[in-house]
Amino acid sequence: GENVEQHPSTLSVQEGDSAVIKCTYSDSASNYFPWYKQELGKGPQLIIDIRSNVGEKKDQRIAVTLNKTAKHFSLHITETQPEDSAVYFCAASKSGGSNYKLTFGKGTLLTVNP
């Protein structure tokens, strides 16, 4: 089955700096890659996603890039703010048909220091 590796497990940055989290996946048939942000005591919140027919997607300070050949995708957060502090999870799945199982990375604890 699919395996998703996520790095780093912890990341500490200064407010205003950029943060980058990287994930690799094993199943070349995976075609949907969402990113979730989980704050303490809450469920994961979908923040951005990308499909395999797109190489990059941006939403304000957040961007995701996908390299299908290398089977890796990354989350980029620019101009970080203290409220960006949370655990971030990447995931992969084969969307469509009857495949709605998300395989998650182990998460990255991002701390933004004021």
Would you tell me which residues interact with another protein (CB under 8 A)?
34, 36, 41-46, 49, 89, 91, 95-96, 98-107
Nearest to 50 by CA among 97, 95, 19, 110: 95
Q: How far is the CB of 28 from another protein (least distance, A)?
A: 19
Nearer CB in complex with another protein: 72/94: 94
Q: Which residues contact 108 (CB under 8 A, 6 or more apart)?
A: 6, 7, 8, 9, 10, 11, 21, 87, 88, 89
| Least distance between another protein and beta carbon 14 (Å) | 27
Instruction: Show the tokens assigned to 71.
Output: 């089977």
Q: Least separation, in Å, of the C-beta of 30 and another protein? A: 14
